[in-house]
Structure 1
Amino acid sequence: MGFLRNARNIETKKRQYGEQYHCWHLGYRKVVGAKYFNLGSSDGTDNPSPVDDDGHGTHTSSTAAGVHVKDASLYGIGKGTARGGVPSARIAMYKVCWTDGCSDMDLLAAFDDAIADGVDLISVSIGGTSRELFEDPISIGAFHAMKKGILTSCSAGNDGPYTSTVENVAPWIMTVAATGIDRQFVTGVNLGNGKKISGIAINTFSPKKKMYPLTSGTLAANISGDSYGNASSCDSWTLSKDKVKGKIVYCLGSSGQDYTIKKLDGAGTIMALDQDTDIAYLTLIPGTYSFPKDSKMIEQYINSTKNPQAVIQKTTTVNISAPFVASFSSRGPQSINLNILKPDIAAPGLDILAGYSKLATISGDPTDKRYNVFNIISGTSMACPHAVAAAAYVKSFHPDWSPAAVKSALMTTATPMKIKEVDAELGSGSGQIDPTKAVHPGLVYDIPMTSYIRFLCKEGYNSTTIGLLVGGKRKFDCTKFKPALGTDGLNYPTMHTQLKSASSSISATFYRTVTNVGYGVSEYKSKVTSPRGLSVTVVPETLKFIRLHEKMSFKVMVKGGLMGNGTQVLSALLEWSDSKHFVRSHIVIYRPLP
């Protein structure tokens, strides 16, 4: 997504799955342009146009820049006033993904066009396995955007909660993790014995009866035994239609059994989760996912009576504590640049209600008859436009700030997770975005292009690989650049290192320079919060500025012994404050497992 600035009125350009031209929830004349790129391979089944026949692009773009819409909901679920992060923005779409994926060629072509159009920001809710920076089209495109003063925001990936899964890790990219908000969608089940359970799902269907016959995959098995699979899990072809028709079916596991039960004319399905989850998936028929604590009770009830019954209620909402990192959000550490912490920041990405294309069913299933202008979806794709909207808000106040300065402002003013997992900042980076605080960060960590070149030289890149990334005819000779200092060699808002082995002691030095963007005359004092076993020294401890835009440098030395007792992550916090601004930098040490 890019932003074309016009005073305080900002326009957005989004590179994603495309945009339906006339989306009332986006606003009149909101979409000012749309292009598509299919220079790469295509299987020929796609519609060769920028129109959004998938819904993903409409959802992400309306999240970033949709206008106010009262009583927005998905069939009454999540009802309220919806609006994008920057409602005054306009959007142009660059469709680069097709049935067979998103080719490097199409991605780079879209970047070229967005940059040529003079956008201010680009949002990319696309990911893939991390590659070397000079081989990754998003890394290359984002570098070229950075050279033109354009910040690129990218989704961190949906392979959590496993560590070392984060994507889009180039240091000139703002990598966004997904968090949950203080609303959860629950779908209850009333059993015939009077007991009630609270499952998790998005069920748009209201029951037409007080009770329905209830069975299980085991009891509804196809006794011919001609099919492969597990009947208790309601695998395809394992169930008898006569035993399923008109009944709610209880299935072990959560592998999309609602599709199977729908084909057999079942009335609904209860899918038993193997472990707790925070994701409310949309069901194709009346359905819910039961938590492990309730599943045994359901099974016992089914087997305790000749005529078990149940009814699945329409989804409602409950308040929960937030923010927290969504379970699916990819975690660090990254594997490309071992001393750069990724993701950078976190934003809402769990169960997000936003605009949707009426060219696609809300489930994506062609047998589904439900079409709606809103949908509820989860993913770091949904978090990315929240963050780029926050960046646009900051840039509207500071149009002359560099991409690194805007990103720094968002990172150093972010809110720590209210619910903190053991992987800590490996999941959330600097924390949850706070756009209003980011407008007045006090200090920023700026990074010019030459600093990125020095960083690349330190990382072992040479003239050829740097040339592949930077482009153009200029040859970059690392011997002619001042060596990058410190463990990471970059003026990054966070400080991070991965130990070489599980038996390594901790020793890292970080050199940083901050620019005063607060008040002309100001004095910032440092404060370190550090866990036992981790020593953090800041030199100097006080920074005294006499004018606006003045730069001052400091050094951070981090030392510690062996990280024992299975500890993989140690997190400290450096905070600079002049009593009005609080500039936070997370310090994260990661130890690999033996």
Structure 2
Amino acid sequence: MRLAVLAALAGTTLAVLVAPGTSAAAPEQDSPGALHLVTLRGPGSAGAAGAPAEVASAETRMRAEQDRVLGTVGAPEPVYRWTTALNGFAATLTSEQADRLAADPRVALVERSTVRRLTSAPPAPAPPPASRRTSGGRGVVIGLVDSGIDPEGPLFAAVPQLGRRAPGFDGACEGGEAAPACTGKLVGTRWYVEGFGADGVRSAAHLSALDDDGHGTQMAAIAAGNADVDARVHDLRLGRYSGAAPQARLAVYKACWTAPDPRDDGCAAADLVAAVDQAVRDGVDVLNLAVDGPSRIDTVELALLGAAEADVVVVAAAGNDGTAAHPSPWVTTVGGTLGARPRGTVELPDGPRLDGAMVAGRRSPAARLVLGSRARTPDADRRSARRCTPGSLDAAAVDGRIVVCDRGGVGRVDKSQAVALAGGVGMVLTNVRRGSTDADFHRVPTVHLDRPAARSLRQWLAGHPAARVVLRPSGTVRTPPRVAGWSGAGDPATGIVKPDLVAPGAGVLGAVPPRSDGARWDFVTGTSAATAAVSGAAAVLRSRHDWSATEIRSALATTAAPVRRTSVPRAGAGLLRPGAAERPGLVHALDPARYRAWWTDGRTRLNTPSAVLRRGERTTTRSVTNVGRRTFYFSSSARGFSRRHVWVTPAALRLEPGETGTYTVHATGRGRDDGHVVWRGAGGTTTRVPVVLR
């Protein structure tokens, strides 16, 4: 697209946008007949107040307007039409048609539909415990736009603890190939493939809401899996599992697909917008989107704007490529942290201590080591055996031994499966280059070593070929939470603090569709896992308070815990604290209609629970509301600023329940800096507002 740049915008406004007064044209290199997303000016029905009949009439007018716009360029019937979250459509257009629509004054944005990636990554050895919450989320529906769901098992069963059905939700359970059945827990399943293309999905994929990837099922488990479910993998008991909002119900919108080549897996923007539009129409309370995207406002973000206008709590992933996706102020954007790591040891008699990643319920028996490359079958090549690919190991050489397998070629768990089938009693997984060490659920006790430790093991083994070794779990190493290097960071130049907050995002346990070895649980790493946890926390707040979506967004962010030695653009407000979010003391309330005004005119100031002071700006003002039940004094302080002098006026506020007060943040000096304005309430509450000074 050709993007317009809005310069010198006042208040909290993105620096780079598609200007509302300027249409974006399609790239000149677009091939004829490409699927494009066209957004018309003005809100969808979600942003228009009125009785149901008035809303229906407005949608009829939108469709008529869409027809008139399509008619000006002779475009074919759209594959999707949207009238709820936004007014627009997805249609196959030539470059010339796209350019002509981009110049139409009725059109706000034209862009080509692209494929986005889910925001999960290879598991890392840092599994925090599953939620200990046994209640929360009653009467709330979490909508997940993801890869679908496999609802079999107790985690997604209809249980009495769910309580009453969610009022106002009007979803449906669509059919298809092996379509998942809805229950009292799973109340809606829909699927969208027109943007991705049904002819582009993997042959084993199901054209239904059934999860072919596993990602959607894991996100559903983390956000709203039932409480007190026994989690086991083989002979390893993982304890009792609960999602973040175990009493919440789930509506699943499958818009992410597996392709014949895994590198082509993803979620087409047209399908994502269609899923968001329908989720808003169905009446979800919280919307979870664990998909990456550009660091600008695009069609997907405009669909999320419509969700916010409908008072839906929108939670999206910051992404795993270092730059924060979902930069808009109406989205709660979530980054990921690292934390605890389960460890194991390769015990070598009279040898060095070799530590690695291990999750296991028992140690291995004492056994001799054998290199996979020296245990190959006659018809296997040396490289395959070195990597312990299935079918490459000779049972006569492996039986009763611990096998050393190089990383690469096939999945890590596939290697331990191959060892188990050949009669091995353990595996040492070795990195051959720099990379992570990962704790997986293996079929035999397994320790994963990094490259230096792997080199030491081979050197020791050369001098001790007959020695017996033991693989032993050594517990969990707990370190202070820190933001993961891959977690998307924000750009203060946009005028918006992103991410809004962070949550545990490494080695998070969740349910998956049955694997080849029968396991139904696995770890997941990425900002997607952190996003699901925040969505669950939002559902708990929505079920227990009559707060608006903007107030919930404020409560989640401003009660977050500090992350040591981490800047605001990396951690936002800090680390999610679901319990503290239930007593935020103060919230920053905001009329969601102002979001569209902010995007349209570039001058509207937003009462966000964060602030950016641009160059030359010395002050910014915010309003807070006491959501407690008693009158309290709240005193302010400025924390964490190292280069600039920052203070707040008034220094204290006395607010009755429901009363709103205004405060101003002042800054003097020069240079970039960031920190927090902290409000402490007499009732024991703490409200932390991240501030960036440019």
Partner of 2:154: 24
Q: 2:276 aligns with which of 79, 103, 111?
A: 111
The reply on whether 1:353 has 2:494 as its aligned counterpart is no
**Distance (Å, rounded) in 2 between the aligned partners of 1:327 and 1:284:** 30
CA distance 1:454–1:107, change in 2 (3 Å): same
Partner of 1:177: 335
| Kept in 1: contact 2:677–2:688 (CA 8 A) | yes
Partner of 2:34: none
**Distance (Å, rounded) in 2 between the aligned partners of 1:542 and 1:60:** 41
AA paired with 1:574? V
CA distance 1:235–1:339, change in 2 (3 Å): farther
Partner of 2:312: 150
1:1-12 → structure 2 map (5 Å cutoff): 8-12=138-142
AA paired with 1:414? A
Q: 1:397 aligns with which of 544, 554, 579?
A: 544
Q: 1:560 aligns with which of 651, 669, 677?
A: 669
SS for the counterpart of 1:52 is: coil
| Kept in 1: contact 2:644–2:671 (CA 8 A) | no
Of the structure 1 ranges 289-298 and 32-41, higher mean CA displacement relative to structure 2 is found in 289-298
The reply on whether 1:74 has 2:233 as its aligned counterpart is yes
Q: 2:557 aligns with which of 405, 411, 418?
A: 411
The reply on whether 1:37 has 2:196 as its aligned counterpart is no
Deviation at 1:79, TM superposition (A): 1.7
CA distance 1:211–1:257, change in 2 (3 Å): farther
AA paired with 1:432? L
Q: When the two structures are aligned, how many residues end up with a matched partner?
A: 516
Q: TM-score, normalised by structure 1?
A: 0.75
Partner of 2:534: 387
The reply on whether 1:166 has 2:324 as its aligned counterpart is yes
Partner of 1:374: 521
AA paired with 1:188? T
The reply on whether 1:439 has 2:582 as its aligned counterpart is yes
Partner of 1:572: 675
**Distance (Å, rounded) in 2 between the aligned partners of 1:244 and 1:534:** 68
Partner of 1:298: 457
Deviation at 1:275, TM superposition (A): 5.7
The reply on whether 1:495 has 2:611 as its aligned counterpart is yes
Cα offsets for 1:324-343 (capped at 9, x unmatched): 33454x131238x6221211
**Distance (Å, rounded) in 1 between the aligned partners of 2:279 and 2:577:** 27
Partner of 1:584: 688
**Distance (Å, rounded) in 2 between the aligned partners of 1:12 and 1:195:** 50
**Distance (Å, rounded) in 2 between the aligned partners of 1:213 and 1:292:** 18
Partner of 1:130: 294
Cα offsets for 1:149-184 (capped at 9, x unmatched): 00111122223xxxx422222221111122345x53
**Distance (Å, rounded) in 2 between the aligned partners of 1:55 and 1:205:** 27
| Kept in 2: contact 1:338–1:497 (CA 8 A) | no
**Distance (Å, rounded) in 1 between the aligned partners of 2:577 and 2:644:** 29
Q: 2:491 aligns with which of 327, 330, 334?
A: 334
**Distance (Å, rounded) in 1 between the aligned partners of 2:693 and 2:395:** 59
Deviation at 1:323, TM superposition (A): 3.3
The reply on whether 1:428 has 2:571 as its aligned counterpart is yes
CA distance 1:298–1:140, change in 2 (3 Å): same
Q: TM-score, normalised by structure 2?
A: 0.65
Q: Which runs of 5+ in 2 are unaligned?
A: 1-135, 159-183, 260-265
Partner of 1:102: 267
Cα offsets for 1:433-487 (capped at 9, x unmatched): 2222212212111222343234325xxxxxxxxxxxxxxxxxxxx3xx9x33xxx
**Distance (Å, rounded) in 1 between the aligned partners of 2:447 and 2:613:** 43
**Distance (Å, rounded) in 1 between the aligned partners of 2:650 and 2:325:** 35
Q: 2:634 aligns with which of 501, 524, 540?
A: 524
**Distance (Å, rounded) in 2 between the aligned partners of 1:220 and 1:425:** 52
**Distance (Å, rounded) in 1 between the aligned partners of 2:211 and 2:148:** 5
CA distance 1:347–1:235, change in 2 (3 Å): same
Q: 1:212 aligns with which of 338, 354, 368?
A: 368
AA paired with 1:375? D
Q: Which runs of 5+ in 1 are unaligned?
A: 1-5, 362-368, 458-477, 500-505, 564-569
Deviation at 1:300, TM superposition (A): 2.6
**Distance (Å, rounded) in 2 between the aligned partners of 1:112 and 1:454:** 20
Deviation at 1:235, TM superposition (A): 11
AA paired with 2:649? V
AA paired with 1:438? A
Cα offsets for 1:210-261 (capped at 9, x unmatched): 21333387x8999xxx99x9x9996999x99899966756577777684679
Cα offsets for 1:270-319 (capped at 9, x unmatched): 31376685753455876432246634432331333454664545x56425
**Distance (Å, rounded) in 1 between the aligned partners of 2:689 and 2:635:** 14
